[in-house]
Amino acid sequence: MMCCRMKPLDFDFRRGIQAFCLLLTVLCSSGAMAAETSGRLDIYFIDVEGGAATLIVTPAGESVLIDSGYPDFGGRDRDRILHTVRDVAGLKQIDHAVVSHWHLDHYGNHAALSTEIPIKNFWDRGIPDALQEDPKFVDRVALYRAASQNGSKTLAAGDKLPLKQAGRTPLEVEVLTASREVIPSRGEANPHAKDQTAKPEDTSDNAASITLLLKFGSFRFLCCGDLTWNIQSKLVTPRNSVGKVDLFMVTHHGLPTSNNPALVLAIDPVVAVMCNGPTKGGHPETIATLRKVKSLEHLYQLHRNVKLDAAGQTPAEFIANTGETEGCEGVMVKASVSQDGGSYTLQIGKEGRPRIYETRKH
């Protein structure tokens, strides 16, 4: 301090300003860090009117976007995703964008998003030369190829996403199925395997969906894309390779060609989120299966199924959007897992009442 007083005033003043700026920079960056590394793991179920778009933000501040809704409709789904990524989650880029399978309600906006925000890594199940159910596939996937600069990486059953760890709670996202391949059977015998029935083979790309199992400490979240009945069966018989989960994204928008009871009852979720639209998914058969799940406390629906009466679906307080697609605000459902993975909160939109659930013990 003594020597400082010896120096000319303007020099001291300049140093003072520099020190102040440095302090401000440190404070700002630590503030930004705090926002990114609150230690929680967030999962946003973005409403894309019966498609799928699920954003995961890890404690390290990394983001994983699984699927991207429908194209067209004036960029409706693209804008809802961008709003969630930028304005709600406060992100400047998408680190990992995954395509669960090659249907337009799942990869509809990967290309459009990439012109608005940097996407660092593209992941998919491999790009087929053609798709029997989509004669325009080659042209459509060309946009995706261009967006990823032909650099998308293929995920196979057993792979893990290369995610950064932060804090002491281990994080892992494992691929359980991809391109009709399933990880080797593991875990405990599935008591529901004996009630198993088969359906005719599904030759569509739904059966090729990527299934992701996220583990954060004890917390488990399962997302199967649109994986259909027989491959779901393969995943949980004779052993339940998934194990029990806390949070389940109801498969295929709640359609009964997926949501095989052998899987749904075996994974025994405590909370389920269904990404249905007003007239797509949310099928009574799937609702009936979910109602048989022993541990299920609450089912959240992104939409009211406008074709079903109130008794045939989840109670109104667990429905994010009640009207038709026209004029829909696209309210999301958010799950947020605590720093240690020991509990998690579900909330509808920004104003919804948060409900806290204990993570199950494994």
| Residues lying near Zn ion in the complex (CB under 5 A) | 105, 226
Q: How far is the CB of 209 from Zn ion (least distance, A)?
A: 9
Angle among Cα 351, 352, 353 to the nearest 5 degrees reads 125
- Provide the minimum distance between the beta carbon of 67 and Zn ion in the complex, in angstroms, as a whole number: 8
Least gap, CB of 290 to Zn ion (angstroms): 18
Neighbours of 175 (CB within 10 A): 21
- Give CA separation, 54 vs 8, 25, 217, 275, 358, in Å: 59, 33, 20, 9, 22
Q: What are phi and psi of 81, to 5 degrees?
A: -65, -45
Tokens standing for residue 211: 């299934």
Pairing of strands 271-274, 63-66: unpaired
Q: What angle do CA 51, 140, 66 make, to 5 degrees?
A: 35
Per the listing, tokens 């969906």 go with: 209
Shorter beta-carbon distance to Zn ion: residue 259 or 338: 259
How many Å apart are CA 265 and CA 263, to the nearest integer?
6
Rg, the chain, Cα only: 23
Residues 6+ apart with CB under 8 A from 158: 174, 175, 183
**Least Å from the CB of residue 164 to Zn ion:** 29
Of the candidates 318, 236, 303, 239, the one whose C-alpha atom is nearest the C-alpha of residue 271 is 318
**Rounded to the nearest whole angstrom, what is the least distance from the CB of residue 139 to Zn ion in the complex?**
20
Our CB check for Zn ion shows the closer of 80 and 244 to be 80
| Shortest CB 54 distance to Zn ion, Å | 12
Q: In the complex, what is the shortest distance from the CB of residue 255 to Zn ion, in angstroms, rounded to a whole number?
A: 8
Closer CB to Zn ion, 228 or 336, in the complex: 228
Residue 67 or 95 having the CB closest to Zn ion:
67
In the block, which residue shows the tokens 């569509």? 204
* Closer by beta carbon to Zn ion, 96 or else 252: 252
Q: Nearer to Zn ion by C-beta: 209 or 230?
A: 209
Measured in residues, the chain has a length of 362
| Nearest distance in Å: CB 345, Zn ion | 27
Residue 49 or 105: which CB sits closer to Zn ion? 105
Residue 266 φ/ψ, nearest 5 degrees: -70, -40
* Distance in Å, CB of 172 to Zn ion, minimum: 25
